[in-house]
Amino acid sequence: MRAKRVWSALGRSWLVLSTVLVVAVLVLFLVHIARQGWQVMGWEFLTDRPRRGMTQGGIFPAIAGTALVSLLTVVFSLPLGVGAAIYLTEYAPDNRATRWIRLAIRNLSGVPSIVYGLFGVVLFVDLLGLGTSLLSAGLTLGLLTLPWIITASEEALKSVPRAYRDGALALGATRWQAVRTVVLPPALPGILTGAILGLSRAAGETAPILFTGVAFFLPFAPTSLSDQFMALPYHLYILSTQHHSLEKVRPIAYGTALVLVGLVFTLNLTAFAVRSRMRRRLETAR
């Protein structure tokens, strides 16, 4: 009986300690980055370009590059992903072909990001002749985020009550009319959530853009789809491992990390807010 109690106490403390440890580590990391990064933060840091071999100035071209490539990513993957989700929830028959699609989506979400990078090099950079460019990188990231967009959109579409579809179809709506008029509108916030999360993922990825379009240093933001671009994650990588005087650029590296984490967290929190607002609205609708 005593042994039983001891085991139980030990076990429960394992659970609590794991949780405390994980949370503490997360908080410590973030606080560390925030405190160190804050020291270089300022208007100039966000709007100026890197100067004096990146030891001074700001990171504006990297911010602009990341913003552009992420937007481009979503421009590619959102229509494709929403289309696929609509097909799967509203049209696809329950057969072998559909199961293949689902299997492919699950597998794609597990493909390492560097493998997407290799695929992008062969397909977009070489075979399609797009070169290392904003476009190639955006397309590569578009494919990477596709499974996430599909999954989020599918969830959003499934949360729309069946009664809406039945109601529309019973009035003589065609399937597409029903989807367009009564299924998509209530699903939009959920789809938006997926898009924002896709944006955040694209902003944080490095490996897929490594060989498809990102550049070590450029003084300006890209002006066309065929330009190379700087990106926040790659800039952080350069500053922390590839620079000739690592110690000198460390404050700027911290600043870059803070901007990147801030960007990604803001996007995630936005998605979270949209999702919980949508849940509340759907509940009152019932």
Partner 1 sequence: MDEPVRIDCQNVEVWYGSKQALHGISIRIPSNRVTALIGPSGCGKSTFLRCLNRMNDLVPGARTRGSILLDGEDILSPATDVVDLRRRVGMVFQRWNPFPKSVFDNVAYGPRIHGIRDKARLAEIVEDALRKASLWDEVKDRLRSSALELSGGQQQRLCIARALAVEPEVLLMDEPASALDPISTARLEDLIGELKERYTIVIVTHNMQQAARVSDYTGFFYMGRLVEYDRTQTIFTSPAQEQTEAYITGRFG
Partner 2 sequence: MRDSIPVTRRRFRAGERLMEGVLALCGYTSVLVLAGIFVLLLWQGARAFREVPLWEFLTTARWDPTSPEGARYGIGSMVASTFLVTLGAMAFTVPLGIGVAAYLSEFAPARVREVLKPAVEMLAAIPSVVVGFIGIVVVGPAIARLFGLPNGLTALNGAVLLTVMALPTAVSLSEDALRAVPRDHRLASLALGANPWETLVKVTLPAAAPGILAAMMLAMGRAIGETMTVLMATGNAPAFPSGFLSPVRTMTATIAIELGEVPHGTAHYFALFAVGFALFVISFVVNWVADWFIRRGRRAR
Judged by CB under 8 A, the chain residues 176 through 235 that form the site for partner 1 are 177, 181-182, 185-186
- Considering only the stretches 101-109, 162-170, 215-223, 234-242, report the one whose residues sit in contact with partner 1 under the rule CB under 8 A: 162-170
- Between residues 71 and 128, which has the closer beta carbon with respect to partner 2? 128
If one asks whether residue 38 binds partner 2 (CB under 8 A), the answer comes out as no
If one asks whether residue 273 binds partner 2 (CB under 8 A), the answer comes out as no
Q: How far is the CB of 95 from partner 2 (least distance, A)?
A: 12
Query: Any idea how long the chain is?
Result: 286
Partner whose binding site includes residue 185, from partner 1, partner 2, none (CB under 5 to 8 Å by kind): partner 1
Cα distance between residue 65 and residue 68, in whole Å: 5
Contact status, residue 179 vs residue 113, Cβ threshold 8 Å: no
262's torsion region: left (phi>0), alpha (psi -120 to 50) or beta? alpha
Cα distance between residue 260 and residue 237, in whole Å: 12
Q: How far is the CB of 32 from partner 2 (least distance, A)?
A: 6
152: helix, strand or coil: helix
If one asks whether residue 203 binds partner 2 (CB under 8 A), the answer comes out as yes
Contact status, residue 231 vs residue 66, Cβ threshold 8 Å: yes
**Among 45, 43, 72, 67, which residue's Cα sits nearest to residue 56?**
45
Cα distance between residue 210 and residue 235, in whole Å: 11
If one asks whether residue 248 binds partner 2 (CB under 8 A), the answer comes out as no
Partner whose binding site includes residue 279, from partner 2, partner 1, none (CB under 5 to 8 Å by kind): none
- Between residues 72 and 143, which has the closer beta carbon with respect to partner 2? 143
Residues near partner 1 (CB under 8 A):
93-94, 161, 163-164, 166-174, 177, 181-182, 185-186, 285
